[in-house]
Amino acid sequence: MNHELESGTMTSNTLSRRNFIGSLAGAGAALTWILRLRLDAVRTVASPRPVVSIHMDQPYLDWSGTAMPYDPPAGLRSGEVLANLGEESLRLRYCYL
C-alpha cells in the first residue's frame, strides 16, 4: 500500500501537458510493478516456482507445489486402452472405429 501511495498519487489538480504525460508514464510503471508484486505474492502462496511434471507421458506445469499426482477430468484418454494394439489386434475387436 505504501508503495502505491508513494508511486502513484498526484498532489496537484493543475497539470502541465509535460507533467501529465510524465505522470501517466510513472503511473503505468507503478501499476506494472504493483501487478508483478501481487502476482508474485499469489505464486509465493501457491509455489515458489512452477515445477515441470509428467503425466501419462505428457509434460505439464505443476503450480500447486504439493507434488500431488495430476488428476485429469473423468473420461480423459478413454481411448488409450487400444493405443498399444497392433493393427490386427485392434481390428480383431473393433473393425469400425
Residue numbers of the site for another protein (CB under 8 A)? 56, 58, 73-85, 87-97
Q: Which is nearer to another protein, 68 or 97 (CB)?
A: 97
| Minimum separation from the CB atom of position 52 to another protein (A) | 15
Q: Which is nearer to another protein, 5 or 81 (CB)?
A: 81
> What are the distances in angstroms from CA 61 to CA 12, 39, 67, 96?
47, 17, 11, 37
| Minimum separation from the CB atom of position 68 to another protein (A) | 19
| Minimum separation from the CB atom of position 69 to another protein (A) | 15
Q: Which is nearer to another protein, 5 or 83 (CB)?
A: 83
| Minimum separation from the CB atom of position 87 to another protein (A) | 4
